[in-house]
């Protein structure tokens, strides 16, 4: 009989059979199994044994239990009290276990919250799934020269007129890309001057595609007409304080005066669009530049359930035809494509992005690292629990002698594990909230800890606590509950399977720890190299001066005269004669593609 493998069938029976019926049923099944071997052979006897076990899985067996359902809440209460006393009695063990779990859970939560933040970019817009950005790749002699997110000003209007699936379009022109705007206001008998670097001229349809949350003003008419400007809440406070900003005039040096027609709430941090000023559309280009000057951001609002691949194919044919005659002089062609705005932050790193985007690869790595850290914390807890379980053999022996069943012992272990995990999780939430400002200072982003307020997260976390508590409590309770009470009281040893499991877990823990520490050191040394490497010149002795390219000659002749005067003065300064002056002339760039 010992040579016949019946472990699975017997374990299955033990998992659901009441203790007071188990020995009798097991004995009958094994006797029948011996007879079946002689009559049918070993393989068929095993199948019959499994079938006979399954036949006992019925209400008549499952419900025949000595435990009283009326006493069960009292038993749970006793288990909780005993678990609390046990945790206080072994305070060092409890402190080490809770500390390890708290650190692992807190770090994991911080990283997962950052990952969710990175994935949430631009999803707050009402129809974010229908908004796309038009970008293109420039090919010279059929070889990709560059990929840009800025395109030609006539693209949006052309696509709107020729493709029915496009509901609307809007352009953004970065007025302050090459020179900061100098803006002045007058109040209380004095003039205040500000320089701004995030001013964009947009079509009046912009607010239809990106419905900003207005505090003051009417979003339907705020950008209709010339020389209108809307401000972010922070910009309005900077310019006007607590005073009403609507209908106030802002003097823009070198440009026409702008009338404030709206104030909107600051854009969330998780948006690739970041600006403080939007002005109504200005005629910054002529007909000769409609298909030559790639300095404009263009967004399309597609009709619901539109096939973007089909629109992209139609767009390429239409725009290729429109650009004929404008591209040959540069030996260049253009390959246009659409980018969903929800994918821009993690999947786009084109030339002229509004800000430095994230990386999907980094996000995936962070998810893996967070999982490893949590697994390390759980393995550490499991190893400590297994090591401590050995010392509880006599306790379990006494409990079995006075009548505790296997199920009661497993419930006791589960209750202790669940209580400790729940305490660790609650403390980890508090630690996570305390560490959030520190984490934000490292990431340079103001990220709210919103993940812990998500009902789905709370449900998953609570389910994970129950599952892990069961897994951690099941293995030691199963081994201890199956030990002979007399052997346990005499200090008997258990099977080697537990030792093998502990060794395997320790190996996984140390290997994973070494990998994470090595990766951290490599990244730290790489960052140190990039920050401290000699560049061949002294960055503290170099000055960068923004100059206007593109529409400079048509927008601000005063700036051109001043920059030319500055160049002249710098060249005559004997202290700068030995230094290079890579000042680019602002003229002559409008008729060509912007670099």
Q: Which residues 6+ apart lie within 8 Å of 375 measured at CB?
A: 512
Considering all CA atoms of the chain, what is the largest pairwise distance in Å, rounded to the nearest integer?
113
471 & 588 share domain: no
Please tell me the least confidently modeled range out of 17-31, 494-508, 529-543: 494-508
Asked if residue 537 is part of any domain, the answer here is: no
Beta strands in 79-221 (DSSP E): 131-140, 143-148, 166-174, 181-187, 190-196, 199-202, 214-217
SS3 readout for 519-562: HHHHHHHHHHHHHHCCCCCCHHHCCCCCCCCCCHHHHCHHHHHH
Q: What are the Cα distances from residue 503, in Å, to 375, 452, 497?
A: 16, 35, 10
What distance in Å separates the CA atoms of residue 77 and residue 85, rounded to the nearest whole number?
A: 12
Task: Give me the mean pLDDT over the 247-259 stretch.
Answer: 88
266 & 407 share domain: no
CB 157 within 8 A of CB 305: no
Task: Give me the mean pLDDT over the 473-502 stretch.
Answer: 61
Please tell me the least confidently modeled range out of 70-74, 208-212, 583-587: 583-587
Residue 280 φ/ψ, nearest 5 degrees: -65, 160
What distance in Å separates the CA atoms of residue 555 and residue 53, rounded to the nearest whole number?
A: 89
372 closest CA partner among 572, 233, 519: 519
User: Mean pLDDT in the chain?
Assistant: 79
- pLDDT for the residue numbered 163: 92
Q: Is 86 exposed, middle or buried (0-12, 13-18, 19+ CB in 10 A)?
A: middle
Structure tokens belonging to residue 430: 């508090």
Asked if residue 560 is part of any domain, the answer here is: yes
Asked if residue 366 is part of any domain, the answer here is: yes
- pLDDT for the residue numbered 595: 43
Q: How confident is the model at residue 63 (pLDDT cuts 50, 70, 90)?
A: low
Residue-wise burial string across 270-297, b where 16 or more C-beta atoms lie within 10 A, e elsewhere: bbbbebbbbbbbbebbeeebbbbbbbbb
Q: What is the pLDDT of residues 386-432, one digit of tens each?
A: 777 666 666 777 777 776 666 777 777 778 888 888 888 999 999 99
Single residue among 291, 320, 347 that ends a domain in this structure: 347
248 & 329 share domain: yes
Q: Is the pLDDT of residue 256 over 70?
A: yes
Q: How confident is the model at residue 557 (pLDDT cuts 50, 70, 90)?
A: low
Q: Is the pLDDT of residue 496 over 50?
A: no
213 Rama class: left (phi>0) / alpha (psi -120 to 50) / beta = beta
171 & 191 share domain: yes
168 & 313 share domain: yes
The number of CA neighbours under 13 Å toward the Cβ of 5 is 2
Q: Is the pLDDT of residue 375 over 90?
A: no
Task: Give me the mean pLDDT over the 119-139 stretch.
Answer: 89
- pLDDT for the residue numbered 487: 63
Q: What is the pLDDT of residues 297-320, one digit of tens each?
A: 999 999 999 998 999 999 988 888
Task: Give me the mean pLDDT over the 536-552 stretch.
Answer: 61
Structure tokens belonging to residue 40: 């049918």
CB 250 within 8 A of CB 191: no
263 & 308 share domain: yes
520 & 373 share domain: yes
293 & 383 share domain: no
- pLDDT for the residue numbered 137: 82
107 & 52 share domain: no
Q: Is the pLDDT of residue 98 over 80?
A: yes
Asked if residue 353 is part of any domain, the answer here is: no
- pLDDT for the residue numbered 151: 86
Q: What is the pLDDT of residues 180-204, one digit of tens each?
A: 888 888 877 778 888 888 899 999 9
Q: Is the pLDDT of residue 379 over 80?
A: yes
181 & 314 share domain: yes
The CB density around residue 238, as the number of other CB atoms within 10 Å, is 14
Domain that holds residue 552: 544-595
Task: Give me the mean pLDDT over the 102-129 stretch.
Answer: 91
Single residue among 16, 33, 62 that ends a domain in this structure: 62
Q: Is 260 exposed, middle or buried (0-12, 13-18, 19+ CB in 10 A)?
A: buried
Site of tokens 């899985």: 57
413 closest CA partner among 342, 471, 344: 471
419 closest CA partner among 77, 150, 20: 77
Q: How confident is the model at residue 507 (pLDDT cuts 50, 70, 90)?
A: confident
- pLDDT for the residue numbered 265: 93
Please tell me the least confidently modeled range out of 78-82, 366-370, 405-409, 556-560: 556-560
Asked if residue 538 is part of any domain, the answer here is: no
186 & 92 share domain: no
Q: Is the pLDDT of residue 551 over 90?
A: no
Q: Which residue has the higher pLDDT, 148 or 446?
A: 446
- pLDDT for the residue numbered 131: 94
Asked if residue 431 is part of any domain, the answer here is: yes
- Count helices and strands (H / E) in the chain: 19, 13
Q: Which of 27-31, 189-193, 288-292, 315-319 has the highest mean pLDDT?
A: 315-319
Task: Give me the mean pLDDT over the 124-149 stretch.
Answer: 81
- pLDDT for the residue numbered 182: 86
Asked if residue 185 is part of any domain, the answer here is: yes
- pLDDT for the residue numbered 237: 92
Q: How confident is the model at residue 575 (pLDDT cuts 50, 70, 90)?
A: low
424 & 391 share domain: yes
Question: What is the total count of domains within the chain?
Answer: 4
Q: Which residues 6+ apart lie within 8 Å of 474 measured at CB?
A: 410, 413, 414
Asked if residue 453 is part of any domain, the answer here is: yes
């Amino acid at each position: 009989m010992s040579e016949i493998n019946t472990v699975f069938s017997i374990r299955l029976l033990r998992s659901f059979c009441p203790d007071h019926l188990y020995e009798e049923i097991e004995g009958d099944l094994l006797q029948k199994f011996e007879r079946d071997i002689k009559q049918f052979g070993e393989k068929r006897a095993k199948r019959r044994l499994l079938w006979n076990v399954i036949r006992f899985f019925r209400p008549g067996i499952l419900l025949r239990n000595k435990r009283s359902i009326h006493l069960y809440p009292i038993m749970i209460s006793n288990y909780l009290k005993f678990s609390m006393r046990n945790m206080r009695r072994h305070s060092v063990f409890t402190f080490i276990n809770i500390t390890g779990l708290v650190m692992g859970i807190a770090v994991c939560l911080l990283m997962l919250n950052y990952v969710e933040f990175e994935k949430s970019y631009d999803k707050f817009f009402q129809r974010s799934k229908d908004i796309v950005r038009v970008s293109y790749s420039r090919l010279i002699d059929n070889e990709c020269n560059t990929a840009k997110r800025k395109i030609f000003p006539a693209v949006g209007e052309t696509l709107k007129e020729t493709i029915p699936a496009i509901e609307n379009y809007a352009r953004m022109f970065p007025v302050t890309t090459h020179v900061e705007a100098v803006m002045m206001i007058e109040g209380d008998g004095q003039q205040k001057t500000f320089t701004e670097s995030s001013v964009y001229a947009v079509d009046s349809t912009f607010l239809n595609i990106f419905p900003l949350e207005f505090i003051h003003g009417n979003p339907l008419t705020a950008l209709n007409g010339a020389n209108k400007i809307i401000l972010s809440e922070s910009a309005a406070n900077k310019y006007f304080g607590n005073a009403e900003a609507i209908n106030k005039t802002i003097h823009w040096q070198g440009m026409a005066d702008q009338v404030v027609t709206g104030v909107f709430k600051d854009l969330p941090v998780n948006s690739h669009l970041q600006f403080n000023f939007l002005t109504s559309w200005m005629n910054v280009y002529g007909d000769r530049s409609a298909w030559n000057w790639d300095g404009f951001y263009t967004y399309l609002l597609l009709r619901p359930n539109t096939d973007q691949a089909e629109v992209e194919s139609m767009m390429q044919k239409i725009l290729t035809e429109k650009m004929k005659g404008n591209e040959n002089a540069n030996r260049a062609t253009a390959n246009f494509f659409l980018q969903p705005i929800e994918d821009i932050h993690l999947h786009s790193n084109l030339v002229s992005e509004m800000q430095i985007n994230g990386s999907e690869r980094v996000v995936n790595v962070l998810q893996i690292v967070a999982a490893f850290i949590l697994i390390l914390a759980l393995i550490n807890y499991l190893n400590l629990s297994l090591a401590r379980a050995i010392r509880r053999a006599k306790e379990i022996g006494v409990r079995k002698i006075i009548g505790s069943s296997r199920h009661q012992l497993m419930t006791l272990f589960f209750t202790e594990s669940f209580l400790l995990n729940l305490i660790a999780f609650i403390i980890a939430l508090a630690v996570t909230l305390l560490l959030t400002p520190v984490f934000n200072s490292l990431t340079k982003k103001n990220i709210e800890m919103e993940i812990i307020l998500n009902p789905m997260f709370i449900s998953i976390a609570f389910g994970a606590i129950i599952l892990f508590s069961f897994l951690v409590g099941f293995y030691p309770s199963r081994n201890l509950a199956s030990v002979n009470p007399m052997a346990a009281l005499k200090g008997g040893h258990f099977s080697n399977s537990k030792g093998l499991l502990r060794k395997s877990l320790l190996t996984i823990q140390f290997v994973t720890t070494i990998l994470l520490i090595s990766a951290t050191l490599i990244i730290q040394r790489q960052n140190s190299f990039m920050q401290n490497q000699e560049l061949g010149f002294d960055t503290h002795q170099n000055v960068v001066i923004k100059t206007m390219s593109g529409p400079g000659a048509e927008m601000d002749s005063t700036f051109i005269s001043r920059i030319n005067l500055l160049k002249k003065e710098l060249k005559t300064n004997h202290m700068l004669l030995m230094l290079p002056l890579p000042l680019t002339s602002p003229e002559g760039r409008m008729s060509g593609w912007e670099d």
